[in-house]
Chains A and B, each alone.
Chain A
Amino acid sequence: MSEPWWVSVIKALVIINLVLLTFAYTTLLERKLLARMQLRFGPNRAGPYGLLQPIADLVKLVRKESFFPTAAIDAPYILAPVVSAFTALAAFAVIPFGNGWNIWRYHVNGVVANVPISLILIFALGSIGIYGFIVGGWASESKYSLLGSMRTCAQLVSYEVSLALSVLGVVITAGSLSLVQIVHNQAHSLWYVVPQAVGFLVFLISGVAETSRAPFDLPEAEQELVAGYHTEYSGMRWGLFQMAEYVNMITLSGLAITLFLGGWHFPFAHGVDFLGPLWFFVKLLALLFAFIWLRATLPRLRYDQLMSFGWKILLPVATVNALVTALVVVWAN
C-alpha cells in the first residue's frame, strides 16, 4: 500500500491549499454567521454575498506596511508568526480525510503522512506553535505584547494538559496512537463520542481554550486589551498569526472528527466511503459552526475563572475519564 513520493507531494500541496481556502472562508463564515446572530448582514459588499471578502482582506493585508518596532529583536520577531503558521498547517498532514483510492496504477492514501504516532505528532506541533505566540510577544519588546504572551502562555499550557488527557480515553479504547487506525476502529463500532462522551466534552472545551477562541479568548480580549501578544504586529505578519489561529481551529475540529466523530466515515453506511473527504468536510463545517455559535453566545471568562475552571474542573474530569476508561478496558479484556 505504498505510494510514490510525488503523489504525497501533490497531496500535500492540495491539502495545504484546501486548508488555506477553508481558513479564508471560515473567516467569512464566521463574520457572516456572527452578524446574522446579531441581526446584522455582515460583509456583503465585496462580490455577491461578500464572497470575495477574504480575497479583499488578503490583498489589503499583503499591501499593508509591515510595521517593525525599532526595539524588536529581529530574527525571533520575524520568525514567530512563521513558526506558528507552519506548525498549524503541518499538523493537518496527519489527519486522515479518506479511505484511500486506487487511481490508475497508484494507490493514494487518504492522509498526507501516515505516521504511527500521529496523535503525539499533532500535540508536539501544537506545543511548538505556542512558541510562536510566546516568542512573538517577547521579541516585540513591548510590555503589552509581553503581558499578552504571558496570558497566552499560561492559558495554552494549562489547557493543553486537559486536552491531552481527554484524548487518552480514545487512545486506550482504540489501542493505537495512529489517527488512521483510530478512524478504522470506528468504522464498524460506535463512534467514540458515545463511549467517550465526557472525553469529547473535555476535548471540545479545552480545544476552544487551546485555540483561544471565545469564551476563552483572553489572549486577545479585544474589548479589554489592545491585542495581546500580536500588539506590535501588522500586515501579513499579523495575518500569519491570525491564520495560525484559524488553522489551529480547523485542525482541532479535524482532530475532534478523527478521534470522536468517526473521521471520514458516513454513519451506518460504508458504500459511500469513497466520498470520505466530503463527509469529513461536512463534519468539519458542523464543528466550525459550533465554534462560531459558541463565540456568539457566551461572554468571555474572567482570568481567575479561566484558570480555576481549567485546573479544578477540567483537569480532574479528564483524569478521572482516562482512569475509568483504562479500568473498563482492562476489565473487558
Chain B
Amino acid sequence: MSPQPVDTLKGFGVTFKQIFKKPLTQQYPEFKRPVYPRFRGRHRLWRHENGLEKCVGCSLCAAACPADCIRVVAAENTPENRVSPGERYARIYEINLSRCIFCGYCELACPFDAITLGNEYELAEYDRDDQIYTKDMLLAEPIKRVPVADAELYDTPIPYYRAHS
C-alpha cells in the first residue's frame, strides 16, 4: 500500500492504459459465441427415418409443461392417413414460445423422444401471434443460425434422448 494520493494517480494510469487495450466486448450480431451443446433453445419435433412422425399425440409433454405452453390435439391414424407409427398422432401440436421457460421437461416426459430442445435462441418477433410455433414449423429443419460448440470440449455426457434424436 502506497499513500492515498499515489494510489489515486496510479488509478489514472490504469484507466489511461486501458484505452489502448483490445475491448472484451463480443460484437453480437456479427459474432455469435457458440452455445453449449446441451443449451436449451427452441424445440424441435422429429420424424422417424421412414418419414413418419415420432409424436403419437399422448400429451405427456403438455402435462409436464410447468408453463402450460404446449397444446396437443390428437387424432386417430387410419390406413389412408398414417402420420405416426402409433395408434394416434398429433393433429395439432403448438408451442407458445412466449410462455415457454425452456426447462426441458417436455423432452424428459416424451416417451418417444419426439420432442427435444434445439439450440436456437434468436426467437424475437414483432407480433405475439408469431411466437406460437405450429407443428410444421417445429418439424421443419431449422435454419442454422446458431453456432454450437463441439461437444468434445465438454465432459458432460449428452443424454440419450438428445444424442439419438
Contact = CB atoms under 8 A, between A and B. Distances in A.
A296 B27 contact: no
A33 B15 CA distance: 10
Interface string A221-243: 00000000000000000000000
B18 A37 contact: yes
Contact of A39 (B8, B21, B27): B21
Given A33-B19, A293-B16, A40 B11 contact: no
Interface in B39-78: none
B143 interface: no
A39 B23 contact: yes
Contacts of A33: 19
B160 interface: no
A79 B27 CA distance: 42
Contacts of B25: 39-41
A201 interface: no
A293 B15 contact: yes
A37 B19 contact: yes
Given A293-B12, A298-B8, A298-B11, A41 B18 contact: no
Interface string B2-37: 000000100110111011011111010000000000
Contacts of B24: 39-40
A35 B23 contact: yes
Contacts of B15: 37, 293, 296-297
Contacts of B19: 33, 36-37
A151 B24 CA distance: 37
Contacts of A36: 18-19, 23
Interface string A28-62: 00000101111111000000000000000000000
A33 B12 CA distance: 13
A81 B109 CA distance: 61
A40 B22 CA distance: 8
B109 to A, nearest CB: 42
B14 to A, nearest CB: 8
Interface in A285-300: 293, 296-298
A297 B27 CA distance: 25
Of listed A39, A40, A293, A298, residue having the most chain B CB within 10 A: A39
Given A38-B18, A39-B18, A297 B11 contact: yes
A296 B18 CA distance: 11
Contacts of A41: 23, 25, 27
A39 B20 CA distance: 9
Contacts of B23: 35-36, 39-41
A40 B18 CA distance: 10
Contacts of A35: 23
Contacts of B22: 39
B6 to A, nearest CB: 14
A249 B8 CA distance: 23
Contacts of B21: 39
A142 B123 CA distance: 40
Interface string A1-45: 000000000000000000000000000000001011111110000
B141 to A, nearest CB: 32
Nearest to A36: B19
A113 B12 CA distance: 38
A38 B11 CA distance: 13
Contacts of B8: 297-298
10 contacts: A37-B18, A39-B23, A39-B24, A40-B24, A41-B25, A41-B27, A293-B15, A297-B11, A297-B14, A298-B11
Given A36-B19, A38-B18, A297-B14, 5 more contacts: A37-B15, A37-B18, A39-B25, A297-B8, A297-B15
Q: Which 10 A-B pairs have the closest CB atoms?
A: A297-B15, A37-B15, A36-B19, A296-B15, A37-B18, A39-B24, A297-B11, A41-B25, A41-B23, A39-B23
